[in-house]
Amino acid sequence: MSEPVALSELSFIWKLYDGQRLINTDNYDDPETLRHHLLALMRDDPKLPRERFFHYFEKARNDESRRKEQTPHAAFRQLDLKKKNYLTVRDIQRLPSNLLTRVVNNYIRPQADEVEELLKDEL
């Protein structure tokens, strides 16, 4: 396995949010964005361990994900169909688009519920 590399050294688009450097996930409407990020996280390694995904998750998640207390463990479990605690290139390439979309929409970039939004507007 190669030496650990910081996320800041990978080819992601970064943005500043509340003084923090976060991965720009504005284009998550396309499930291939998550697939691309997963493949980039692998670097030269044959496996993407869940711990490396956890660091990515913390940088990519939105405020709603934090509010709902979504965990990187739960998100990775959705992706790790064979329950090996790592993903290979082949695993990532075979992930169905609807699964990638579900992980983004439910764990990484969930949207606020409509009822909650209406309540916020009324306050």
For the stretch 43-66, pLDDT in tens is 889 999 999 999 989 988 888 988
Position 79 pLDDT exceeds 80: yes
- End-to-end CA, the chain: 53
Q: Answer whether residue 6 is part of any domain.
A: no
Q: Answer whether residue 117 is part of any domain.
A: no
Q: Answer whether residue 68 is part of any domain.
A: yes
Residue 58: which CATH number?
Answer: 1.10.238
d(CA 34, CA 112): 20
Mean pLDDT of the chain: 80
* Nearest of 70, 69, 79, 24 to residue 48 by alpha carbon: 79
d(CA 108, CA 25): 9
Show the domain range for 92. 31-110
d(CA 66, CA 123): 21
Tell me how many domains the chain contains.
1
Tens of pLDDT along 86-121?
999 999 999 999 999 999 999 988 887 654 555 555
> What is the mean predicted confidence (pLDDT) over 20-29?
61
